[in-house]
Every structure is written in C-alpha cells, then in structure tokens.
Structure 1
Amino acid sequence: MKAKMMDVLEAFEMSDDELHYVYNKKTGEVVIVADDSSDFESDEDVDMAELEANEDQYIALPDKFDINDYHIMEQFIWQLPAGEQQTELERSIQGRGAFRYFRNTLDRFEMTQEWYDFQNETYRKMAVEWGEVNGVELVE
C-alpha cells in the first residue's frame, strides 16, 4: 500500500475537531471523514456510515489529539539553548491564548521559520512512523 507523503502531511495540518482523515486502502488516497455536525463537504469525503460499513477498508490517520501541537511547541522550546529565548517561549505557552502568544514571541525573536521547519520535520517523522505501523509506504 502506498500513500502520498504530502497528503498525509496535509491531513496532519488540517485535522481539527470536525475533520478527521483516513487512508483508503483500496484507492491509496487520504480522505476526509467529516463530523456529522460539520458544514464541510468535499467530493472526496467519506461519511460515518460508509466508514462504519467498510471499516476494514480504511486506516485512521492521527487526529489533532494524537498530533498534539502543544507538545510539539514544548519540544521545540526544550531543544533551544538555555537563555532568554527559551525562557520567553516557555512563558508564552502558559495559560489562555498560548498558541497566539507563542507565535508572537517567535516573531519577536525572528524564529518563525525555525519553528515551522521544526514542526514540519516533526510531522514528517510522525507520518513515517504512522506508515511503518500501518504497512503504508509513503512516497514523495
């Protein structure tokens, strides 16, 4: 079984409370499973009834809870050298508005691209691990 790496990475980036992604073993495509309450519609989406009726045809991709962007932010901060940047970024993710404050702090330190590179590399590692666990070869 093969899947496009870019499709898996896009699913990681777009996953939220209403949108979940699965890999269709028959077609080799990553498709959206829209929550019944979602207004999102696509020609490629799968409804819950289809998914339940043919669950052996689909493999779930990690959802937003599995991906845990907050933990990825922590990992990014912890890999920085001790100092002002690390301290300020740690402070930025405490409490309400953590994602916004984190991004603002990154901007102030001109580290936004460094963050996105780290996040993308983390997503890529997660995608490779997901593929290995599920017997899906990821192709560029």
Structure 2
Amino acid sequence: MPVKFQDIATAFEFANTNGDMGEFRAFVCKQTGKIYYQTDFIDAAEFNDELPDDIEDEDKYIPLPDKRELDLGKPLVLAFVREFLRDDLDDVRYFFSKRGAYPKFKSLLARRGAIDRWHAYENEARKRALRDWCTLHAIEIID
C-alpha cells in the first residue's frame, strides 16, 4: 500500500489539530493506502469522508498518531534546548513543569532569535518520526 509522504504529513497535522481529544482523527487503510479524515466540526465538512463502518478495526485501518506518541512534544523541546540554548535549559524545564509552557517557550525563542531554527528542527524531527512510524506499520512511502 504505497502512500505519498505528503499525504501522511497532512493527515498527521490534521489529527494533531488543537481541540478536544477525538475531534480530529485520520486513518490509513492498510490495504489501499487511502487516508480517511474524521472530525465532529461542521465547518470542516470537506474532511468528513464517508467512513467505513469498520474504521475502528486496527487490522484494517491505522489511526495517525498523536505527536506525543512520537516524542514530538516536551522531549523534542528539551532536546532542542540542550543543543541550541543550553543556558536556558533550567528555565525551559521550569516552563514545562506547569501549564502554558509553549507560549513561554515561544517567547524565549523570540528573545533568542531562534524561532526559525526551532521550526527547522521541529520539521526535521517530525519527518523522521513519521517515516519511522510508517516503517513500523509497514506503510510504504513514496515521495
């Protein structure tokens, strides 16, 4: 079942849209490679495919992971800070010990002039993690 990497990346972004758990989901059909989108929001109706009745059957469909499942949340931030903003590591750890960490982290990035570097780092990590996830689930990627 070959799938374009960009389609996987788009489905991953959709499934990780900020919202309550379960409001945005995407699935890959193991047999065909077709990606199905599911959302409860009416204004996102263009993503609401007619879902197969057995979409929850993990033998047939693989749900796209949450970014935390791929260590693309706090662990990635800390790895970035260790590599590029070593002097700020204690502050960032403190940010992430409480709610509202990302706005504080983004503010620190702005003060350090590191926003572009962070986005590049995050994008590369996401690509690697998604490719690894596809390999783990025997999803053949075509670019």
TM-score range, shorter chain: 0.7 to 0.9
Change (3 A) 1:29 1:44: farther
> What is the letter of the counterpart of residue 77 of structure 2?
M
1:46-98 Cα offsets, whole Å, 9 max, x none, are 5484413x553312221244135222212212223632x44444444341210
Find 1:77's aligned residue among 65, 77, 81.
81
Instruction: Indicate the residue corresponding to 1:5 in structure 2.
Output: 5
Please say which of residues 128-137 and 66-75 is displaced more in the overlay: 66-75
Instruction: Indicate the residue corresponding to 1:131 in structure 2.
Output: 134
Question: Contact 1:25/1:58 (CA < 8 Å) preserved in 2?
Answer: yes
Find 1:110's aligned residue among 93, 106, 113.
113
Instruction: Indicate the residue corresponding to 2:25 in structure 1.
Output: 20
Change (3 A) 1:46 1:88: farther
Could you list the structure 1 runs, at least 4 aligned residues long, displaced by more than 4 angstroms after superposition.
none
Find 1:31's aligned residue among 36, 39, 46.
36
SS in 1 for 2:59: helix
Question: Contact 1:3/1:136 (CA < 8 Å) preserved in 2?
Answer: yes
SS in 2 for 1:41: helix
Give the gaps of 5 or more residues in structure 2. none
| Same amino acid, percent of matched pairs | 24
Change (3 A) 1:46 1:98: farther
Find 1:62's aligned residue among 65, 77, 82.
65
Distance 2:130 2:120 in 1: 15
SS in 2 for 1:51: coil
Give the gaps of 5 or more residues in structure 1. none
